[in-house]
Amino acid sequence: MNDFESPILSVKNLNKQYGAGCGHCRTGDEERLMKNYCPKCGTVYACRHISFDLYPGEVFGIVGESGSGKSTLMQCLYFDQDVTGGEAYIRTYKNGEVNLFGESSQQKRHIRNHQMGKVYQNPVLGLRMGFSSIGNIAEKLIAAGSRNVGAMEGRGRTLLEHVNIPVRRMKEPPKNFSGGMQQRVQIAKALSNNPPILLLDEVTTGLDLSVQASVLDLIKKLQRQLNISIIIVSHDLGVIRMLADRTMVMLDGRVIEYGLTDQILEDPQHRYTQQLVHSLL
Amino acid sequence: MKIAYNFAFFDEGSKREIRRATLKAIAIPGYQVPFASREMPIARGWGTGGLQLTLSLIGKNDVLKVIDQGADESVNAVNIKKLVTGTTGVKTVEVTAEATLIQSRHRIPEIPLKEHQILVLQVPLPEPLRYYEPSEFVTKRLHAEKEYSGAWLMLFEQIMKYGNMSSGADHPVMVHDRYVMAPSPIPRFDNPKMNYSNALILLGAGREKKVYAVPPYTKVVSLAFDDYPFEAERFDGMSCRLCGAAGVFLDELIHEETGETYHQCNDTSFCLSRLNSVSAKYQEVPLNE
């Protein structure tokens, strides 16, 4: 099997629930749940049996309404939250033979620092607002083992230029920046150690249209130049249409449809997807 | 004077609890052990951590020395000495070599410590990652996972802002290749003295309720970058106005009338003993020559 055909990341049967569950809901019977939670015990099933593969150089879109489990899925993949069950494998980590979710927290941190980058919807989560922008980038590099100030400063400078942050503002803390700039610093930080996988969680939500366009442009450009694999979560179908090669639609913690983005948008099969596509302004 | 307190102020149970925490701290070099910080007749933040260690360890045959930023006679040092002697009756000294127990605020004495001595340091903020991460819950995890990028990040920020590692005091150290530790606000000049120290070093934070330790002969490395090595303060070409010592930690003073700048040993007992020996010999002998 050549590189192109074997996935860089595969997720198998990922489950995430909040609450222990009860006799009523533990059977996994769909009819017994109200949307994604159990009316008897209040347990929320945020992600249910999610499986997908991410291929090298691919942009994989995840759409769904608010509360459908998109962000929870991303948090689980970045180890911000522990999963309830399921497996994930990265090809570049121990030959893809070890389940990431079963690793120790040190190993998870290592994977996060060496294999992944994440851009959060809210820059406060992804950046240290009081530290300088270049320090924010250095943080990720230090975590990945660098102890050379000159090299880190050079790398940070290159990346910040890449995302169009003026060099003279490099040492300013992100709290002085506009939302769009903060988002671009986050992207620079996420890219700092050349991660093979980039997770983007609603990166353009809340930005005005022209800034949205420039951030999307940047992501597209970087993705082509560096050939990274991206998982992008959005409830904005325009963003998905522009960026994603393949798309997965989520509703109430389940995957209801997936396929090529064009196919999903032009010929939606599931009732919810049809509604979603037709409500596009 | 009739002493109305138990020996060394605390009841035996309290002393035992503090000693138990201390033993654990020695067993895990650099690890911050929580302990039940007692109410003291001085306010928290005025050396209660160090004082509790001193009181829990002191015995009738101990000889005590207390320093406050190098000085034996400052208010803080004198009051602590009064409390300890008032409740124990032990002898206090100023000569470092004669003491068995040395409580210090923010300095390690100039004279190398010996195996039979214990140095107790007072600590205001025991958590080296606190500025980077405000949550204790999170910093505990970071220590557990040996995730210290935050400590390096703070030094990186200093380099970005000021062009060098500018921590005036409390420059973080790696103890025994495992825990990053705040060495208490000693100047960088004193950091190397912790490395393979002959004496046991105990650190106590009363307000933050933590005890930690550097056992004798333990590796202590100050954090640094490949291209920005750790440097202690330097006093090139300067020497003490009183005793002429060079290569020691000097205070910079300004003469009130002439406005002239001059330097003086920060460690007063060291300066005094040199003055005594110099006047005995009628000659000046710089320390490092």
| Cα-only R_g, chain B | 20
Mean pLDDT of chain B: 92
What would the mean pLDDT of B3-18 be, rounded to a whole number?
Answer: 90
C-alpha A245, offset from chain centre: 15
By percentage, how much of chain B surpasses pLDDT 70?
Answer: 95
Partners of residue A135 in chain B, C-beta under 8 Å: 153, 156-157, 160
Query: Residue A210: pLDDT band by 50, 70, 90 thresholds?
Result: confident
Q: Are β-strands B179-181 and B173-175 bridged in parallel, bridged antiparallel, or unpaired?
A: antiparallel
- State the Cα–Cα distance between residues A253 and B88, nearest whole angstrom: 68
pLDDT at A277 over 90: no
- State the Cα–Cα distance between residues B268 and B51, nearest whole angstrom: 21
pLDDT at B267 over 60: yes
How far is the alpha carbon of A166 from chain B, nearest alpha carbon, in Å? 16
Give yes or no for A213 touching B (CB within 8 A).
no
Exposure b/e, B152-182, CB count within 10 A at least 16 = b: bbbbbbbbbeeeebebebbbbbbbbeebbbb
Q: Which residues contact A53 (CB under 8 A, 6 or more apart)?
A: A7, A9, A10, A11
B206 within 8 A of B44, measured Cβ to Cβ: yes
Token look-up 């010592």 returns B245
CATH architecture, range B12-131+169-222: 3-Layer(aba) Sandwich (3.40)
Q: Give the pLDDT confidence of A257-269 residue by residue, as tens digits.
A: 999 999 999 999 9
pLDDT at residue B104, rounded to an integer: 96
**Strands lying side by side in the sheet with B220-222:** B179-181, B173-175, B220-222
pLDDT at residue B240, rounded to an integer: 93
Q: Give the pLDDT confidence of A7-27 residue by residue, as tens digits.
A: 999 999 999 999 888 888 877
Interchain proximity B156–A152, CB inside 8 Å: yes
How far is the alpha carbon of A10 from chain B, nearest alpha carbon, in Å? 27
Q: Which residues contact A106 (CB under 8 A, 6 or more apart)?
A: B145, B146, B147
Interchain proximity B226–A131, CB inside 8 Å: no
Query: Residue A28: pLDDT band by 50, 70, 90 thresholds?
Result: low
Residue spans of the domains in chain A: they are: 9-278
In order, the DSSP letters of B188-209 are GGGHHHHTT-SSEEEEEETTTT
pLDDT at residue A2, rounded to an integer: 55
Active site residue B240: yes
Angstrom CA distances, B62 to A38, A138, B104, B201, stand at 68, 49, 16, 16
Q: Which residue has the higher pLDDT, A212 or B232?
A: B232
Q: Which tokens hold the place of B93?
A: 């000294």
A197 within 8 A of A54, measured Cβ to Cβ: yes
The alpha carbon torsion through A124, A130, A135, A141 (nearest 10 deg) reads -40
pLDDT at residue A1, rounded to an integer: 46
Strands, E assignment, B88-143? 91-92, 101-105, 118-122
Give yes or no for B231 touching A (CB within 8 A).
no
pLDDT at residue A39, rounded to an integer: 85
Active site residue B243: yes
Mapped to the 3 state alphabet, what secondary structure does A112-153 carry? HHHHEEEECCCHHHHCCCCCCHHHHHHHHHHHCCCCCHHHHH
Interchain proximity A139–B226, CB inside 8 Å: no
pLDDT at A4 over 70: no
pLDDT at residue A238, rounded to an integer: 86
Provide the residue count of chain A: 281
User: Of chain A residues 102-121, which have a CB less than 8 A from chain B?
Assistant: 105-106, 109
Q: Is the dihedral of CA B162, B166, B167, B173 positive or negative?
A: positive
By 3-state DSSP, what share of chain B in percent is helix, strand and coil, each rounded to 5?
30, 20, 50
Number of Cβ atoms within 10 Å of the Cβ of A35? 12
How far is the alpha carbon of A52 from chain B, nearest alpha carbon, in Å? 30
B34 within 8 A of B17, measured Cβ to Cβ: no
Domain with CATH 3.40.50.11310 in chain B: 12-131+169-222
B154, B160, B226: best mutation site toward chain A, by most A Cβ within 10 Å? B160
A215 within 8 A of A178, measured Cβ to Cβ: no
A240 within 8 A of A234, measured Cβ to Cβ: yes
Partners of residue A150 in chain B, C-beta under 8 Å: 227
Q: Give the pLDDT confidence of B13-67 residue by residue, as tens digits.
A: 999 999 999 999 999 999 999 999 999 988 888 899 999 999 999 999 999 999 9
Give yes or no for A135 touching B (CB within 8 A).
yes
For A9-278, CATH number out of 1.10.760.10, 3.90.228.20, 3.40.50.300, 3.90.1150.10 equals 3.40.50.300
Q: Please, where are the H alpha helices in chain A?
A: 70-77, 105-115, 123-126, 133-143, 149-162, 179-191, 209-226, 237-243, 261-266, 271-278
How far is the alpha carbon of A133 from chain B, nearest alpha carbon, in Å? 10
- State the Cα–Cα distance between residues A57 and A227, nearest whole angstrom: 5
Partners of residue B226 in chain A, C-beta under 8 Å: 147-149
What would the mean pLDDT of B253-257 be, rounded to a whole number?
Answer: 91
Q: Which tokens hold the place of A225?
A: 């130049």
Give the type of residue at B222: S
Q: Give the pLDDT confidence of B105-124 residue by residue, as tens digits.
A: 999 999 999 999 999 999 99
